[in-house]
Amino acid sequence: MRDTKHLEKHSNKLAANAKEKELFRTQRKAVEAGAHGTLDYTIKKGVNKNKIANEKILKSKK
């Protein structure tokens, strides 16, 4: 009797956590690509001044 109570309690707790995670997952908002200057960053100093930073320019810096 005692074991089943603990197992049921644990099972209910896991189900509640899974339901809570699912609700948070469905209510997330998509982020806007390029918001706050994260896309198409313009280089301000150096040889590539006033160019838009892309993979080609950034790879040559490493």
Residues 1, 20 within the same domain: yes
Residues 25, 1 within the same domain: yes
With DSSP H G I counted as helix, E B as strand and the rest as coil, what are the percentages for the chain, rounded to 5?
A: 55, 5, 40
- Residue numbers in the chain where pLDDT is lower than 70: 1, 31-39, 55-62
Residues 22, 39 within the same domain: no
CB 24 within 8 A of CB 17: no
Residues 39, 23 within the same domain: no
The residues, any chain, with a CB within 8 Å of residue 53's CB and separated by 6 or more, are: 40, 41, 42, 43
- Model's pTM, two decimal places? 0.42
The total number of structural domains that make up the chain: 2
Q: In whole angstroms, give the CA distance from residue 23 to residue 2.
A: 32
Residues 43, 62 within the same domain: yes
Q: In whole angstroms, give the CA distance from residue 22 to residue 20.
A: 5
- Provide the mean pLDDT of the chain: 79
Residues 44, 54 within the same domain: yes
Domain extent, residue 3, equals: 1-30
